[in-house]
Homo-oligomer: A and B are copies of this chain.
Amino acid sequence: MREVGVSLFGFGNVGRAVARVLIEKEKLFRERYGVSLKVVSVADTTGVVWLPEGIDLREALLIKETFGKLSSWTNDYEVYNFTPEEAVKEVDADIVIDVTNDKNAHEWHLTALREGKAVVTSNKPPLAFHYAELMSEAEKRNVPYLFEATVMAGTPVIGLLRENLLGDTVERIEAVLNATTTFILSRMEMGLDFEEALKKAQSLGIAERDPSEDILGIDAGYKATILHCVAFEPKTFDEARVKGIAEVTAGGVGRARKKGRTIRLVATVERGSITVEPREIPVDSPLAVESHENAAVIWTDLLGELVIKGAGAGLKETASGVVSDIVKAALRTA
């Protein structure tokens, strides 16, 4: 049995979903992969809990859910006031997991890679702005840098593009990558106007209180940029042409519907070009997704048209991608 040390950054909804999967599947991973994952640190914005012998994740969840913050946990554990940068340096671990929203996380990702630690992330801005630098560091150190959950949650579009189709040349990708806008557009098809649909999404917790990242297409733009980096070559979000759904009207949605079409926020990625914009698509297109489903259509020279479709949001669904990458990293850091 190989023991692999894991350092978890971020203990919000996604971080806790990851922790729950690690608890539930501990035995399974030992049996299936011969790997024992030992979480040596857990961090939220209030502090870093660190125990080289391994943290009891059940207790960590209990503390976080009872008190709302890890820094309340002073009974059996030391809580440190490290920045992520400091924690990455101090804590001895094989894999660093970033499930935060830290927009500057690329800095401590780079530090982790330089220290020979694998990085698994669901955090998009580091990739959307610093892909070339991160990948070059990872390759130089021969350390895994994995980010399945950044695009389409656990639906393995990144694995598909990075590790399969190795003889194909990708020509074009079209994808629906943001579930919040799909929800709002679906509700508009049912007769709500944009503001009503947005409020509905917010009341259900599907849209955030400040919904601008989703509505303005920024989230989809980050993801489309990452797809471009993987399928073609490094590019940054600044080079993407992004238009959100704020200008879509109930009238526009209705007119599309009468033509047997539906409006979705579609990302189009070709070599050198990243576009996100609301587009009318036929209702029988693979891109005419509903609910929290995402879809990508990939065209390549040999295979032709390939569709991958699955959950693009959700806690378990995002944890699926993060945990798959953790196992992948554990198997590679033998």
Contacts and interface: CB of A to CB of B under 8 A. Distances in A.
Contact of A307 (B304, B308, B322, B323): B308
Contacts of A159: 159-160, 163-164
A303 B317 contact: yes
A328 B21 CA distance: 30
Interface in A311-328: 311, 314, 316-317, 319-320, 322-324, 326-328
A191 B302 CA distance: 33
A309 to B, nearest CB: 4
Interface in A260-287: 284, 286
Nearest to A18: B167
A70 to B, nearest CB: 23
Contacts of A153: 303
A316 B305 CA distance: 13
Interface in A18-34: 21, 25, 28-29, 33
Contacts of A156: 160, 164-165
Given A21-B167, A160-B156, A303 B311 contact: yes
Contacts of A307: 307-310
A154 interface: yes
B308 A168 contact: no
B308 A308 contact: yes
Main secondary structure of the interface of A (DSSP, over half): mixed
Nearest to A25: B167
A324 B168 contact: yes
A305 B317 CA distance: 10
A323 B168 CA distance: 8
A300 interface: yes
Contacts of A174: none
B320 A168 contact: yes
17 contacts: A25-B167, A154-B165, A155-B303, A160-B160, A165-B320, A166-B323, A167-B320, A167-B322, A302-B316, A304-B310, A304-B311, A304-B314, A305-B310, A305-B311, A306-B310, A306-B311, A309-B309
Interface of A: 21, 25, 28-29, 33, 148, 153-156, 159-160, 163-169, 284, 286, 300, 302-311, 314, 316-317, 319-320, 322-324, 326-328, 331
Ranked nearest first, the 9 interchain pairs of A and B with the lowest CB-CB distance are A167-B323, A156-B164, A302-B320, A306-B310, A166-B327, A159-B164, A307-B309, A166-B324, A303-B320
